Amino acid sequence: MTGTIFINYRREDSISIAGRLYDRLSHTFGRKNIFMDVDHIPAGVDFEAHLNTQVDECEIFLVVIGPRWLEVKDESGGRRLDNSDDFVNIEIRTALARDIRVIPVLVDGASMPKAGELPDPLKALARRQAVELRQLHFGRDAEALIERVNEALKGKLGRQRPWRGKAIAGTAAAVLLLLGWIGLSSIDVAEWRLWQPALPITSQPAPAFSSVRQEYEKAAAKGDASAMFNLGVLYHNGQGVAQDYAKAREWYEKAAAKGDASAMFNLGVLCENGLGVAQDYAKARAWYEKAAAKGQASAMFNLGLLYHNGYGVAQDYARAREWFGKAADEGNASAMFNLGVSYDNGFGVAQDYAKAREWYEKAAARGHARAKAHLEQMPIR
């Protein structure tokens, strides 16, 4: 296999943002091309040989470095990074020794480690150019990292964009663009969804976005909420117009005032990510709640994430589980998976492996790849 990407991270230090990065890369380059979550090594396999094999198949190796990355201790009180049997140590030294492109990714304000702070086999890491991935600017920082990865791979993986359709009034159909979803490595995910206009599939040449925009503007002038919403998406993505998050927000607000739940959800996404507006988790939560009240599962799911992570609210695993449950009732596979993780780990509920398996099975039945992987690797109890 060529052109694959390996994400190396320390679970104790950076699991949340590593999970978000995994999902963004998966939806850009394809899940089969991303390696992560080495905690689930097949039983009876030599773990060092297994890790070496995975690293061998990669061309890009991302080292996610959080504030505690250098300090994490093992059971004996020694620094894990100094242990030659430590997963992180094994993976990094293998990548460096085989001259794989290694990119340090600094998260949560972490600084690049100095050579003197690293064990001998890892000292070369200090000479690798790092990139920063900030929680407050995750979207734009992740996109910049993706561009660097794509350049390093010379575009051999391409850039994929998963879509799912939804009919609307007007000249275009609306489809769901997955900008990133939450795929828990142990817990935590991030599913950001935008309703994106797309031209219907016909044998005729598709009109330019500028023409589509003109049609939306005519419909919006007559009070069509779907047209207002789609104008917001065009400005959001810079399709047929210069990208302008502030104008996107204006059109979303007009559509939301007419009761459009998708516009409410997108306003939540803008507020949560600080796009065209100051980042405000409380306002994001308010918009998600309005969308959720209209039955939008993605809004319910993201409310679960806010409570799980304590963003804009006091961290509350029980409330997170409630929102994941509501989203799961609406058929959201990622929410089903998160419920499985909640029961698997005892987040906001008594630990229950049978219920964890039950939710993983429901998510897997809907095609959730990570749920399938968890089922395959769960021990028989």
- The pTM (predicted TM-score) of the whole model is 0.54
CA distances to 69, 123, 256, 315 from 370, in Å: 26, 34, 34, 25
Evaluate whether 186 touches 345 at the Cβ level (below 8 Å): yes
Shortest CA distance to 266 belongs to which of 316, 369, 255?
Answer: 255
Q: What is the pLDDT along the chain (381 residues), one digit of tens a residue?
A: 445 888 888 766 666 677 778 767 876 777 778 877 554 556 666 767 777 777 877 889 999 998 889 988 877 888 989 998 888 888 899 889 988 899 999 987 889 999 999 999 999 999 999 999 876 677 778 888 888 888 888 876 665 443 222 222 222 222 222 222 222 333 334 343 333 333 333 333 444 667 778 888 999 999 999 889 989 888 887 877 888 989 999 999 999 999 999 899 999 988 887 888 888 989 999 999 999 999 988 899 989 988 887 888 888 989 999 999 999 999 988 889 889 888 887 888 888 889 999 999 999 898 887 788 778 767 665
77 burial type by CB count under 10 A (0-12 exposed, 13-18 middle, 19+ buried): exposed
Q: Is 114 helix (H, G, I), strand (E, B) or coil?
A: coil
CA distance 118 to 108: 20
Phi-psi map region of 77: left, alpha, beta (phi>0 left; psi -120 to 50 alpha): left
pLDDT value at position 310? Answer: 82
Token pair in block for residue 28: 């850009």
Neighbours of 145 (CB within 10 A): 19
pLDDT value at position 176? Answer: 23
Neighbours of 130 (CB within 10 A): 17
Neighbours of 239 (CB within 10 A): 18
CA distance 9 to 62: 8
For residue 88, the one-letter residue type is V
pLDDT tens by residue, 119-157: 999 999 999 999 998 766 777 788 888 888 888 888 766
Evaluate whether 105 touches 65 at the Cβ level (below 8 Å): yes
230 burial type by CB count under 10 A (0-12 exposed, 13-18 middle, 19+ buried): buried
Evaluate whether 269 touches 306 at the Cβ level (below 8 Å): no
Shortest CA distance to 18 belongs to which of 108, 97, 86?
Answer: 108
Strands 58-65 and 4-8 turn out to be parallel
pLDDT value at position 209? Answer: 67
Return the biggest CA–CA distance within the chain.
Answer: 70
pLDDT value at position 379? Answer: 64
Strand ranges, E, within the chain = 4-8, 34-35, 58-65, 101-107, 131-133, 163-166, 173-180, 192-198
Contacts 24+ apart (CB under 8 A), 125-130: 125/63, 125/92, 125/96, 128/102, 128/103, 128/104, 129/103, 129/104, 130/65, 130/103, 130/104, 130/105, 130/106
Phi-psi map region of 103: left, alpha, beta (phi>0 left; psi -120 to 50 alpha): beta
Phi-psi map region of 214: left, alpha, beta (phi>0 left; psi -120 to 50 alpha): alpha
Shortest CA distance to 94 belongs to which of 131, 61, 138?
Answer: 61
Q: Is 98 helix (H, G, I), strand (E, B) or coil?
A: coil
pLDDT value at position 165? Answer: 27
